[in-house]
Structure 1
Amino acid sequence: MANIILLNPEIILASAGLCILLAGAFINENRARLLFHFGTISAAAVLGMVLSQAAFFAYGTGTMWILDPGAQLFKFIILAATVFTLLLSVNYSAIQPRHIGTYTALLLWASCGMMLLSGAMDFIYLLISLELISISCFILTGFEQK
């Protein structure tokens, strides 16, 4: 159970995506841009958590995943790219205001899957993280079609 604490960045990022998706269903379209800011703040906070765990080396739940400097480096790169993507997407006109919550949540879930993949050591864990990435990216790919 103590090793599950090392997955807190991924759990928080997935929870933030769920909160953004739920808030996007009930928020006014005039205030929908706030969801981008909430997603950016969430990803930046998780980036700070990843940087604070940089000295650890641990196995999680047997040997399903590993937390090592290589995984930490890729988590840092993924989260930095997510923050920059969200910052650049704020004024992107192709996203309709009613879909901003969905777009932001899918982006956070895709980055969560990438973070899980960076530390995967078990085949099942690898497949689950690949599915999380692929489903999110497939939906994001078809996002701009009219």
Structure 2
Amino acid sequence: MPAAPVQGNCVGLLRRLHRLPGCLPFGHNRAGSDRQGPYLDFSQGRCTLCYLCAGACPKGVLTLPNEGERTAIGRARLIRDRCLVREGCSICIERCPEGALTLIFGRTIRVSKRRCTGCGGCRHACPAKPKAMSIEPLNGRP
């Protein structure tokens, strides 16, 4: 979904959208940080892929998927040395709405590139501090 940094009046629009039921809040990075423009704030929950943001985007940076198209806004990535799976934790697997996470021999978690939508459900649920899951954009941007 996100194709480029969003600036200007989009920021206010996106902040208003998150007040609607089911919309994930957006944060905003300042110029000079690794990321610029709004971003999904997975500390607040997961994206439900409702597309309200894409439908409201005045600049066409966020786009609606074609009918029947499977959408991914990012991809989950496990940071192994932070993961609590060896201590019996599997909350990320339980909370993934796409069934994209698999426990491997009780020692690690595999993320299915085919099934993961990047919704952030695993990151939001992860109890590790710092989080053991990150959501990486599909387009390679930070």
- Same fold, TM exceeding 0.5? no
Q: Give the number of the structure with larger relative contact order, counting CA–CA contacts within 8 Å between residues 6 or more apart.
A: 1
Of Structure 1 and Structure 2, the greater helix share is in: 1
TM-score, normalising length: structure 2: 0.27
Of Structure 1 and Structure 2, the greater strand share is in: 2
